[in-house]
Amino acid sequence: MARHRSKRLEKLKLSALLTFIRCHRGSSDDHSRIGTVGFSRVVYVNEPDMLEKEGFSYLLNEVSTTKYNLGTFLPKSLFEQFRRVANFYFLVSGILALTPLAPYTAVSALAPLCVVIVATMAKEGVEDWRRKQQDHELNNRIVKVHRGNGNFEETKWKDIKVGDVIKVEKDNFFPADMILLSSNYPDGICYVETMNLDGETNLKIKQALEVTLDLNEDIKFREVRQTIKCEDPNANLYSFVGSMEWKGQQYPLSPLQLLLRDSKLRNTDYIYGAVIFTGHDTKVMQNATDPPSKRSKIEKKMDKIIYILMSSLLMIALLGSFFFGIWTKEDLRDGKLKRWYLRPDASTIFYDPKRAAVASFFHLLTALMLYSYFIPISLYISIEMVKLLQALFINQDIEMYHEESDKPTHARTSNLNEELGMVDTILSDKTGTLTCNMMEFIKCSIAGTAYGQGVTEVERAMAMRKGARLDDDIENGGHKDNKIDDSPHVKGFNFKDPRIMDGNWIHEPNRDMIRDFFRLLAICHTCIAETDENGKVSYEAESPDEAAFVIAARELGFEFYKRSPSTIIVREWDPSQNVVEKRKYELLNILEFSSSRKRMSVIVKEPEGRILLLSKGADSVMFRRLAPNGRKIEEATRRHINEYSDSGLRTLVLAYRVLDDKEYKEFNEKLNAAKTSVSADRDEKIEQAADSIETDLILLGATAVEDKLQKGVPECIDKLAQAGIKIWVLTGDKMETAINIGFACSLLRQGMTQIIITLEQSDIIAMEKTGDKFAIAKASKQRVMDQIEVGIKQIPPSTKVSTESFALIIDGKSLTYALEDDVKLKFLDLAIKCASVICCRSSPKQKALVTRLVKQVTHKVTLAIGDGANDVGMLQEADIGVGISGAEGMQAMQITMETELEVRE
């Protein structure tokens, strides 16, 4: 069965799906810089030994996340112990106890100190040994590497070198940063899940260069020799500049060919790739920071108390030694000793009246030792024991036990337990932490009528705050389903409405529009359908949203069944005759979704011969493209969209248009001319061609999907907010998604004023197309500063009583400039005045920098929560790090060994 499936997938040419993607995503990077400083890396593909001959020295692929090794454990660990003032004081006292000045034996001074130091060092050693074991497991994973003559041998990750050709199979992780050479698909595409990098579980499409597509078998690598020149190692996950020399020709490389370490191969049987970055040179490790040595606020406060005690002790000893010196000097009068009973005649200098100053100094040292118990070493021992017991209680807490995976909470260190009760700011990842990243189709608006009787998490949370009670069979539009639904739950589908389920839509007055609505959902996407041995169809999608749409269409009788490069087959159920009809649509064009377009369209020809443009996108762009005669239901649809947004749902507007043959022919010629253009404005011409056809649309309605939250998230955020704890969400998701989830988890509330800082503005986008990087940076920074100033002015001063609350939302581009030295304090000033802060499109390094800024400037306790490798920097920078080991984030915990607390979903 697997062989047949593989053959079927190989026949499935997906160039139609990628036509717009490849052409639209023109390379804006400056390839002319290759060979200069910062762009000087050279890779000899299939000849890793050539690097040494040419004098290049690159890091090995072995990685380490430990704080110590055999050579550094003793000095580094001792340094950590003697950073504590009390430990250092007792060490000095112990050394002095070895001298004749000591009023007690050295053993009594050094033994308690040794017990404390050894016990704490042992604890540190055990915790670091666990990190070492995780690193060992990671470095010894197996992957197939070309070892000559077309033979691929199983090799450990740590033995991979720059230049090796690697074969990665389905559902395995990439062991290093690689350039995609080919895959089992004829077009050289592969699907990659980057959740460990950016927290997103939606699949990314990667595409090999056309010249290497035929390298799709082991034997074909026997004589392969290529040279890749590219940028030096850096932390930027979303950019890459390089070129490949192949058979005497130079071919530019882009992020579309880059496969990053710790991303996962999905929906692709195998790929071949050439290693360009290994070990700590890989982008994921470049984004990581060294494991920090964190100290709790109580420990730092104890150091201050010790300083006070030491000062008091020193004053007492000085005072006593001063008077001792005076009395010793006056001890000798007329040649007679006044204090003969002290036997100064038997002493050398301790009581020598002739050397009173020296005697006074030695008395000071003796007094310091004698009064050393003024600073109790037992205090530290007691605190360490309490911390260990607390960590044990955390590990055994039944309330934090995850029954499904049979995993308890694990406190990886006991140093920071007391900090948990002093948290001022929580910085959290979104995907997999606040949400499950499981989209469910729950409601829709068709022809101005709202359908769907489900209740969202936000509606439940709002009802609970008002003291009301909501049932899942809540009335909607005057209809209520009183029947008991015994049907099994379908993943991605949580829609309930008897008016259109079970074929009842045929009796609705707007049934034609309902039919067109679900046809559009079944056709307008880039999903791949896979059929198992039992004939059951499952879908693989780039995003969970698209999967939810095709599943909803299937459950309501419009099943996307199969696709080829030029056709889409949909099985439609006709309720009136109770028959299933296969409708074959000719796929003419796909205009792919992008963050700038905010919409996706397909052009198909129906079996009846009509050419249709089917489009779905954000309401902000779709309503502007409606025809005058296509706006009949616009007002009702807008009202429903606002209601869905209030309920924390993600919405899309659906519309269509009938094209005549002449109009389509003109558009196709214009699009092809733009694709083949070699001018600098090629991308702009392609987008203009797409824009020209996506007009005069007829509105069908809107969809509403729910990103399921982790259990209890809204209630938890409510309680944290009531406790005065500030919550920041740092996510790699786009702004629209983050805002919707903000409403879903009660981070954003209706009536809250949103201060949005973004560089997705027409003039900035226009400047970016010019390529003048200095001018772009200058203008972008000024724009961010202006928006921050406007935001600060919006918020009334603290002296003025105001009931209005504010939320700050900033994207990743803007955050780059907001974190610069001359801007970051103003940015933080604005942020701490807001009730909620959401940072979108944040890179792992930006997450860490934001956390560091909050911690260092506010001097308050920060707690970071995350589940992926993209969150490691944030977890390390925060005072307390909580790593969530979820169903999808298990691999990430291999890297997040530096976190202080691991909990289950």
Known catalytic residues are 429
**What tokens were used for 730?**
């740092």
**Known binder of ligand: residue 430?**
yes
Residue 546, marked binder = yes
CB 557 within 8 A of CB 572: yes
Q: Which residues contact 464 (CB under 8 A, 6 or more apart)?
A: 715
Element (H, E) at 81: helix 73-81
Alpha-carbon distance of 899 to 889, in angstroms, equals 14
Which 3 state secondary structure label does DSSP give 709? strand
Contact 276, 294 (CB under 8 A): no
Query: In angstroms, what CA-CA distances link 738 with 548, 811, 841?
Result: 18, 10, 9
Pair of tokens at residue 169: 């199979």
Which has the closest alpha carbon to 703: 636, 648, 632, 641? 641
d(CA 244, CA 227): 6
Q: What are phi and psi of 733, to 5 degrees?
A: -75, 165
The verdict on whether residue 841 carries a ligand-binding annotation is yes
Whole-number Å distance between alpha carbons of 814 and 819:
9
Q: What is the DSSP letter of 454?
A: -
Q: What angle do helix axes 106-139 and 73-81 make, rounded to 10 degrees?
A: 130
Please, which residues have CB within 8 angstroms of residue 166's CB and are 6 or more apart in sequence? Answer: 143, 144, 145, 146, 160, 175, 176, 178, 272, 273, 274, 275
What is the 8-class DSSP label of residue 72? T
- 485 annotated as belonging to a binding site for a ligand: no
Q: Is 456 annotated as a binding residue?
A: no
Angle of helix 377-395 versus helix 85-96 axis, rounded to 10: 140
Note whether 189 and 256 are within 8 A (CB): no
With a CB cutoff of 8 Å and minimum separation 6, the contacts of 537 are 529, 530, 531, 554, 559, 560, 561
To the question of whether residue 123 is assigned a binding role by annotation, the answer is no
Does the annotation list 151 as a binding residue? Answer: no
Cα–Cα distance, 729 to 811 (Å, whole number)? 12
- Residue pair 773/32 in contact (Cβ under 8 Å)? The answer is no
Q: Are 231 and 258 in contact (CB under 8 A)?
A: no
> Element (H or E) spanning 599, and its range?
strand 599-605
Q: Mind spelling out the 3-state secondary structure of 157-195? A: HHHCCCCCEEEEECCCECCCEEEEEEECCCCCEEEEECH
Residue 279 among known ligand-binding residues = no
- DSSP state letter for 623: G
Residue 129 tokens, joined: 């040994």
Mutual orientation of helices 824-832 and 844-858 as an angle, nearest 10°? 80
Determine whether the annotation assigns residue 650 to a binding site.
Answer: yes
Q: Enumerate residues 6+ apart whose C-beta is below 8 A from 192.
A: 203, 204, 205, 206, 259, 263, 264, 265, 266
Question: Is residue 593 marked as binding?
Answer: yes
Residue 616 is assigned to a ligand binding site:
yes
- The DSSP-derived string for 313-332 is HHHHHHHHHHHHHHHHHTTE
Residues 6+ apart with CB under 8 A from 849: 819, 877
Phi first, then psi: what are they for 295, rounded to 5°?
Answer: -125, 140
The answer to whether 415 is a known ligand-binding residue is: no
**Known binding-site residue numbers for Mg(2+):** 429, 431, 867, 871
**Known binding-site residue numbers for ATP:** 429-431, 546, 593, 616, 650, 731-733, 841, 847, 870-871
**Known binding-site residue numbers:** 429-431, 546, 593, 616, 650, 731-733, 841, 847, 867, 870-871
